[in-house]
Amino acid sequence: MFLPNQKVVCVDGKFPLGIEQLYSELPKEGVTYTIRDIVPGIGLTGEEGETAVYLCEITGPLNAHGIERGFRADRFAPLTTIEEEEEEEISVGMPQLVPA
């Protein structure tokens, strides 16, 4: 999944109507953020099993239980830089050396 301090980009900035009342700010699609923490999440209708992330750039208000509301992790994708993509292409194309 993600790690704290990892850069991610928001790939799903479409939120249900009215949800802005629960947050001070919402992530915007295409914008880069930094993961602050990864936590178990609970959906708006109480379903468990989701993974939520907290972002360094957005600090939300606390809910009725004193817990900050996170954002679904699947709204984000790891940010890959051109250098990382080039390194991956090089490592994929290189033969693996096996000791004799």
Backbone angles phi, psi at 81, to 5 degrees: -90, 165
pLDDT for the residue numbered 49: 77
pLDDT for the residue numbered 85: 52
Task: Label residue 3 exposed, middle or buried (CB < 10 Å: 0-12, 13-18, 19+).
Answer: exposed
pLDDT along the chain (100 residues), means of 10: 95 94 94 96 76 94 88 93 54 52
> What's this model's pTM, rounded to 2 decimal places?
0.76
pLDDT for the residue numbered 50: 87
pLDDT for the residue numbered 15: 94
d(CA 49, CA 71): 13
pLDDT for the residue numbered 81: 60
